[in-house]
A and B are shown apart, each in its own frame.
Chain A
């Protein structure tokens, strides 16, 4: 089963390798991992997408909690939550493709943020499925580069992960 684990961790050098090292050492999967400081610069928030049985997810959260620098761990996918991922995709945009790419971007509410004579850079935010759908909708031969951020997640309503 796919799970989205959010955690708060001390913003110390090496903190990221403690988390990624834990996953590789114990043979857990990481589908994506994002990390950046929070409004409190001494702390970072990490979103990890992983897969595993209930037993494995239980061990993952326990092992993460055991890391000395980890402040809090929550499996946000246990209840209602929101996921967003950012994608920047560079597409060949010449001739009739120029108009077609623009139209597709509009349909997906994506924005074109860089334009040259031969290319567009399209910015798109959404859940993983939406980003996948956009890639599916674009002629594969037009794709020059794809950059995806991995997902950020947050619980809905009263579910708050804070110190």
Chain B
């Protein structure tokens, strides 16, 4: 069948079973939008800014196992998309971004809306392509989806010049794909896995530390099974929340800069550390030199060899898909008779419980002023702990990760790697479209939400009943916290002046807006939002304590055991 390049693009998306494309039209993608118009299988979601298109596709992908798709025009369309692409790249989220480009003859002529999109995005994509011939479109898009979802996932960009989308050729979607230069490892090395299992069985102070890789490879079930089989304590990173049920006794909370005392102490003083789909990030282990002071054997399971022994030396590296490797570990454990040393484990748990009894997450609640932690706790209660929660970046993000206890994977969506403010609402949009019946809440702050506030309009158009919980403290809270702690209380440009009336603003966009000033009104307001206004977008503007800080805290460059547990430690 002879089709235009634009028609081929849409047919490829149909072949990949893409249901939603997030995008924004423009000159260079007019043919593609015309082809989109003439079919019904692929639904287009018109955002109000290209950054939000990519974030929404990203949220869509994070909340499902599918590849998110965004469509943008050349020039500013592509540059606006860059923050979204980089955000997905840092968290290994599978995306395909299709960008229009000026006609091939105009490339390099400084044409209207021309930028070197492939050049600009090169450092923040898993791979990218410029398609110069209509006959290459189908194979390139096939490759793009394959690259995005296999191995360590990531965003892949396909740049299509306008004339290429207009030219015609015979369409056939390739069924198979093989690339001699790209063959990701799936199964882990048997011998290495055996060595790892042996180490785990001999451990006296074992600890399991898991990250986003567990979520990405859909291995929460395997992780839970293995952890229970071993009886070891476990911690999930910010990216790995929900990988293991947070309400379980073996779970010690999140590690790292704002992690729990017990998780950090157990990480530091363990003699065998099993790291799964995690990368010893600076926000997790603090100073690598301090971390290395305590001798311990490290087993590291990751699909990306370059993540292994990058920041800390690893004793047993296992390259492979997390789920496959965990399955094999479980198989070997169940096949053998050996079990962990019960006596040593009991002594270790006694120590861990002692650390846990410090109750590091306790905060001083108030009858007068709303504490942000209290809002998140109530949100957890009101939603039965089963909402998809997105967040932006800053203090509210940390409180959401600390006080909303995630028992399931793909329930917690946030920008962990790049730390992009403004992702919260678009993530919620993508998640709500992918999970129409789900309860979706966006925990945000008055600064972050304004970075993509225009999407309230998209939410209206597509009737997305997300619940926005704005922890409004009138400050760039995390900046203010660091200024208070490390810059002598000189609050340089961190006060958010001239804020809008968010409740009225939401109403202006056609949504429900509720302002909450008193602690006693928090729960009723949440109940009203999630029951009475179940099918509407509700913007809850909580006026919270502007002086509240996030604790516990490991200062940048310090070690995991050098924690500030509360303001009294300062």
Q: Is the pair B181, A66 in contact by a Cβ cutoff of 8 Å?
A: no
Q: From A58, which residue of chain B is reached at the shortest CB distance?
A: B309
Q: From B306, which residue of chain A is reached at the shortest CB distance?
A: A62
Q: Is the pair A68, B122 in contact by a Cβ cutoff of 8 Å?
A: no
**Does B119 count as interface, using CB distance less than 8 angstroms?**
yes
Tell me which of A58, A68, A71 contacts B126 (CB under 8 A): A68
Tell me which of A21, A55, A58, A70 contacts B181 (CB under 8 A): A70
**Does B123 count as interface, using CB distance less than 8 angstroms?**
yes
Interface flags, A8-20, vs B, CB<8A=1, else 0: 0110011001100
A53 to B: closest C-beta gap in Å = 12
Interface flags, B100-130, vs A, CB<8A=1, else 0: 0000000000000000001100110011001
Please indicate the chain A residues that have their CB under 8 angstroms from the CB of B181 in the complex: 9-10, 68-71
Q: Is the pair A14, B122 in contact by a Cβ cutoff of 8 Å?
A: yes
Q: Is the pair A66, B306 in contact by a Cβ cutoff of 8 Å?
A: yes
Please indicate the chain B residues that have their CB under 8 angstroms from the CB of A68 in the complex: 126-127, 147, 179, 181-182
Q: Is the pair A65, B305 in contact by a Cβ cutoff of 8 Å?
A: yes
**Does A146 count as interface, using CB distance less than 8 angstroms?**
no
Total A residues in contact with B, Cβ cutoff 8 Å: 20
**Does A163 count as interface, using CB distance less than 8 angstroms?**
yes
Q: From A14, which residue of chain B is reached at the shortest CB distance?
A: B118
Kindly name the residue among B126, B130, B181, B305 whose own CB sees the greatest number of chain A CB atoms within 10 A.
B181
Interface flags, B304-320, vs A, CB<8A=1, else 0: 11100110000000000
Q: Is the pair A66, B304 in contact by a Cβ cutoff of 8 Å?
A: yes
**Does A1 count as interface, using CB distance less than 8 angstroms?**
no
**Does A149 count as interface, using CB distance less than 8 angstroms?**
no
**Does A59 count as interface, using CB distance less than 8 angstroms?**
yes
Q: Is the pair A163, B180 in contact by a Cβ cutoff of 8 Å?
A: yes
B396 to A: closest C-beta gap in Å = 31
B195 to A: closest C-beta gap in Å = 20
**Does A79 count as interface, using CB distance less than 8 angstroms?**
no
Please indicate the chain B residues that have their CB under 8 angstroms from the CB of A163 in the complex: 180
Please indicate the chain B residues that have their CB under 8 angstroms from the CB of A66 in the complex: 304-306
Q: From B313, which residue of chain A is reached at the shortest CB distance?
A: A55
Please indicate the chain A residues that have their CB under 8 angstroms from the CB of B123 in the complex: 21, 25
Alpha-carbon distance A83/B126, docked complex (angstroms): 33
Alpha-carbon distance A124/B479, docked complex (angstroms): 60
- A interface SS class: helix
A36 to B: closest C-beta gap in Å = 18
Q: Is the pair A59, B306 in contact by a Cβ cutoff of 8 Å?
A: yes
Please indicate the chain B residues that have their CB under 8 angstroms from the CB of A63 in the complex: 306
Please indicate the chain A residues that have their CB under 8 angstroms from the CB of B122 in the complex: 14, 17-18, 21
Tell me which of A14, A17, A71 contacts B180 (CB under 8 A): A71
Q: From A25, which residue of chain B is reached at the shortest CB distance?
A: B123
Q: From B127, which residue of chain A is reached at the shortest CB distance?
A: A68
Interface flags, B178-195, vs A, CB<8A=1, else 0: 011110000000000000
Alpha-carbon distance A31/B467, docked complex (angstroms): 55
Please indicate the chain B residues that have their CB under 8 angstroms from the CB of A13 in the complex: 130
Kindly name the residue among A13, A21, A62, A63 whose own CB sees the greatest number of chain B CB atoms within 10 A.
A62
Q: From B307, which residue of chain A is reached at the shortest CB distance?
A: A62
Kindly name the residue among A9, A14, A25, A59 whose own CB sees the greatest number of chain B CB atoms within 10 A.
A14
Q: From B184, which residue of chain A is reached at the shortest CB distance?
A: A66
A62 to B: closest C-beta gap in Å = 4
A19 to B: closest C-beta gap in Å = 11
Q: Which positions 44-65 of chain B face chain A at CB distance < 8 Å?
A: none
Please indicate the chain B residues that have their CB under 8 angstroms from the CB of A14 in the complex: 118-119, 122, 130
Please indicate the chain A residues that have their CB under 8 angstroms from the CB of B180 in the complex: 71, 163
Interface flags, A24-48, vs B, CB<8A=1, else 0: 0100000000000000000000000
Interface flags, A66-77, vs B, CB<8A=1, else 0: 101111000000
Please indicate the chain B residues that have their CB under 8 angstroms from the CB of A25 in the complex: 123
Alpha-carbon distance A68/B180, docked complex (angstroms): 10
Please indicate the chain B residues that have their CB under 8 angstroms from the CB of A69 in the complex: 127, 181
B460 to A: closest C-beta gap in Å = 40
Alpha-carbon distance A62/B440, docked complex (angstroms): 39
Alpha-carbon distance A62/B279, docked complex (angstroms): 15
Alpha-carbon distance A13/B126, docked complex (angstroms): 16
A118 to B: closest C-beta gap in Å = 40
B186 to A: closest C-beta gap in Å = 16
Whether A59 touches B310, Cβ cut-off 8 Å, given contacts A14-B118, A21-B122, A65-B305, is yes
A18 to B: closest C-beta gap in Å = 6
Q: Which positions 125-144 of chain B face chain A at CB distance < 8 Å?
A: 126-127, 130
Please indicate the chain A residues that have their CB under 8 angstroms from the CB of B126 in the complex: 68
Q: From A13, which residue of chain B is reached at the shortest CB distance?
A: B130
Interface flags, B297-339, vs A, CB<8A=1, else 0: 0000000111001100000000000000000000000000000
B278 to A: closest C-beta gap in Å = 17
Alpha-carbon distance A10/B179, docked complex (angstroms): 10
Alpha-carbon distance A162/B101, docked complex (angstroms): 36
Residue contacts A-B, CB under 8 angstroms, 24 given = A13-B130, A14-B118, A14-B119, A14-B130, A21-B122, A21-B123, A25-B123, A59-B306, A59-B310, A62-B305, A65-B305, A65-B306, A66-B304, A66-B305, A66-B306, A68-B127, A68-B147, A68-B179, A68-B181, A68-B182, A69-B127, A70-B181, A71-B180, A163-B180
Counting from the closest, the 7 A-B pairs by CB-CB distance are A62-B306, A68-B127, A71-B181, A62-B305, A68-B182, A25-B123, A63-B306
Binding site for B on A (CB under 8 A): 9-10, 13-14, 17-18, 21, 25, 55, 58-59, 62-63, 65-66, 68-71, 163
Q: Can you add 11 more A-B contacts, CB < 8 Å, to A62-B305, A69-B127, A163-B180? A: A13-B130, A14-B118, A14-B122, A21-B123, A25-B123, A58-B309, A59-B310, A65-B305, A66-B305, A68-B147, A71-B181
